[in-house]
Amino acid sequence: MGSNDEDDSGSIVVINDYEDSQPATPPMEQPMVVGAAAAQAPIISSYNDKIRPLLDVIDRLRLLNVMKEGIQLPTIVVVGDQSSGKSSVLESLAGVNLPRSQGICTRVPLIIRLQNHARPRPELYLEYNGKMVPVEEPQIATAINIATDEVAGSGKSISDIPLTLVVRKDGVPDLTMVDLPGITRVPVHGQPDNIYEQIRDIIMQYITPKESIILNVLSATVDFSTCESIRMSQQVDKNGERTLAVVTKVDRAPEGLADKVTADDVNIGLGYVCVRNRIGDESYEEARKEEARLFETNAHLSCIDKSIVGVHVLAEKLVQIQANAIAKCLPEIVKNISAKLDANVSELEKMPKALTSIADATQAMMRIIQAAKESLKKLLWRGEFEEYPEDNTKHGTARFVEMLNRFSDELHNCEESNLSKDFLTEEIKGLEEAKGIELPNFLPSEAFLRIFRRKVERISYLPIKFTEKCWDYIDNVVLSVLTRHLEMYYHLKVSAKGAAHNLVQKLREQSINRVKEIVEMEKLTAYTCNPDYMMEWNELMKQQEHFINQISGTNMCLRPCSVNLEGFGEIQVEHLRQHSNVSILQQAFGLKMRMVAYWKIFKVRLVDSMALHLQYRVHNLVYNDTDEIVKELMGPDGHGIEMMLVESPAVVAKREKLKNSIKVLKESKDSVAKIMDRIVVYDAYLV
């Protein structure tokens, strides 16, 4: 490959009839003037014909903005510190004059597409802001400055919006490169204070993708390891596997340069190329002749291997590296385009069609509400969670069990369920309050009920709190499910959420009233047919005689401070010895055991009642009550359904975005297919 003296380990065979795949030439308003550089000797020739189709398809994909779809393209990204000679290198490759000035002359990413063709007139044009503007060769720098001002403003600010320069002329290498602003740390000439951060962010955006090839432009006059561009490229390409270095201004610091590029202290994996750029009014052909003479005659530069010196070597290396990258990445690009296209088509198909009539809107709403009802049945009644496999907060039946278990634990662990505290104190007080003119040793039922009612009153907040938590949870699930099913109908979604919330609040109020009624029923009378009550009471009463004896025994020295009762543990009894009436203690003990046995029955019954009530209300909600949402949405005049005819701007924008994305991806897929039909790649890797 020219003076590179390297054999290809693979080859790209191109069928010759690919001419129709090239981008159309833009219309020219005036006859083009043949520039002086058009007649110069070509930098590179034979290799271009082999990779032109590959580069055409990548340029086509870039023109379609496929990178906005998340498809990364192999790109040669040109970076360098300010005044490192980036523009001069690009001018040497393109054979055209680029903007020059003090400070930053590149304020936006400049995509330079070089296309070799043998026509006598060079063709140049700029693409930006959706326009394609033909440019005369002598006015390229001016035209770029005008376009830059339009894109980034007329000041010194920079922008990440690119513009594209297309250069079609005889003798240029087939390359596409992105020139980025030169790196500077100190803002000057009215530049923004954060100019370094802005430039760094743009550079990192372009060089981070693994598909990017980094062309690092270094001045021979500086220590490579201190260059900011090297530091940035090492952050994303630590081993330099996709970094090529171009050393400029070699005539200013020739001494020791051979050692610097040989030692490679900064890990430039793709190697170095040393160049001497055009100076002053030299023509490009004169500059290349002077470059060749310099590397032949200079005592220091002539020691450098000829395979890494000269603009022509740089062009050959870039073309070769570019071909490698494209051949390597193209299969993955095709795969990614197809995957993204399939995903977008699937997402667009899932979006509801825009509704144009009341009848269509009515059918759509009924279908959506029915689907939402089915989701609620699964989540809140049947325990089927395939719609929310990862979001267990929506797994309603399981969450109900958790809430019911917490309610049961709170009820069993509350103060009223503490059996041993102030043992018999409340019972003795209740018996004294219930005294009446009646037979002795008669246990009045009113004493039991008074104590029981007080206990129930003190725990009555627990079933109400449980009910409120359940309905708060139901409200959240219902609103979430409706939101998901009505996501594409913004106005209806808002109204449906309001209607659903109103319904849940009404049912919540009804449910709380019913729970209060259940509690009041328990307070009205004490009753159970559960045989466990009598069994429990009889077992507990077997300890009465022993307990009374421990309290009222005549031997003061043998009276214990506490008594161990089965089911209670150690009971403090000293406070009971003030009651000399053994009959009162016996009655209080019997009353206590009745309360203990019945309280156990009551707690289980209350938990069961809450569970059954919750199930009943949830069943009615998912099978019957949700119809009220439809009634409220329809409204008394039936005009509520018209809201479905008005789509939210977000939905319209999403649908249009998907359509545009699908169009771009289809065109991209077709463009790649046309090229792939013409190219046979026997080996994807070139040396």
Q: What is the pLDDT of residues 231-260, one digit of tens each?
A: 999 999 998 999 999 999 999 999 999 999
> What is the token pair recorded at 300?
């220091």
| H-assigned helices in 528-623 | 532-541, 544-552, 582-620
**pLDDT above 60 (res 682):** no
**DSSP SS3 for 505:** helix
Confidence of residue 375 (pLDDT cuts 50, 70, 90): very high
**pLDDT above 80 (res 474):** yes
Residue 498 Ramachandran class (φ > 0 left, ψ -120 to 50 alpha, else beta): alpha
Q: For residue 69, what pLDDT is reported? A: 86
Q: How far from 214 is each of 197, 236, 271, 330, 470, CA to CA, in Å?
A: 19, 10, 11, 19, 60
Confidence of residue 26 (pLDDT cuts 50, 70, 90): very low
Q: How far from 53 is each of 12, 50, 60, 579, CA to CA, in Å?
A: 10, 7, 10, 109
β-strands 110-116, 175-179 pairing: antiparallel
What whole-number distance in Å separates Cα of residue 127 and Cα of residue 109? 12
Sequential DSSP letters for 51-101: HHHHHHHHHHHHHTTGGGGT----EEEEEEBTTSSHHHHHHHHHTS-----
Q: What is the pLDDT of residues 182-193, one digit of tens each?
A: 888 777 767 778
- Please tell me the chain's helix, strand, coil percentages from 3-state DSSP, rounded to the nearest 5: 55, 10, 35
- Which of 82-86, 241-245, 614-618, 642-646 has the lowest average pLDDT? 642-646
Closest of 401, 397, 367, 373 to residue 384, by C-alpha: 397
- Contacts of 187-191 with C-beta under 8 Å, sequence gap 24+, read 188/103, 189/102, 189/103, 189/156, 190/155, 190/156, 191/103, 191/104, 191/156, 191/157
Q: For residue 554, what pLDDT is reported? A: 57
Q: For residue 48, what pLDDT is reported? A: 52
β-strands 131-134, 175-179 pairing: unpaired
> What is the token pair recorded at 498?
């309001």
pLDDT, the chain, mean: 83
Confidence of residue 57 (pLDDT cuts 50, 70, 90): confident
Whether the CB-CB separation of 159 and 108 falls below 8 Å is answered with yes
Whether the CB-CB separation of 372 and 482 falls below 8 Å is answered with yes
Q: For residue 650, what pLDDT is reported? A: 77
Q: What is the pLDDT of residues 62-99, one digit of tens each?
A: 878 888 888 888 889 999 988 888 888 998 998 888 88
- Which of 388-402, 434-448, 590-604, 654-668 has the lowest average pLDDT? 434-448
**Global pTM value:** 0.58
Q: What is the pLDDT of residues 273-332, one digit of tens each?
A: 999 988 888 888 899 999 999 999 999 999 999 999 999 999 999 988 988 888 888 888
Whether the CB-CB separation of 369 and 626 falls below 8 Å is answered with yes
**pLDDT above 50 (res 2):** no
What whole-number distance in Å separates Cα of residue 419 and Cα of residue 564? 13
Confidence of residue 645 (pLDDT cuts 50, 70, 90): low
Q: For residue 99, what pLDDT is reported? A: 81
Instruction: State which H helix or E strand residue 233 sits in.
Output: helix 228-236
**DSSP SS3 for 647:** coil
Q: What is the mean pLDDT of residues 626-654?
A: 73
Whether the CB-CB separation of 318 and 94 falls below 8 Å is answered with no
What whole-number distance in Å separates Cα of residue 73 and Cα of residue 57? 10
Q: What is the pLDDT of residues 483-533, one digit of tens each?
A: 888 877 777 788 888 889 999 999 999 999 999 999 999 999 899 999 999
Q: For residue 557, what pLDDT is reported? A: 55
Whether the CB-CB separation of 310 and 266 falls below 8 Å is answered with no
Specify which of 561-565, 595-599, 627-631 reaches the highest per-range mean pLDDT: 595-599
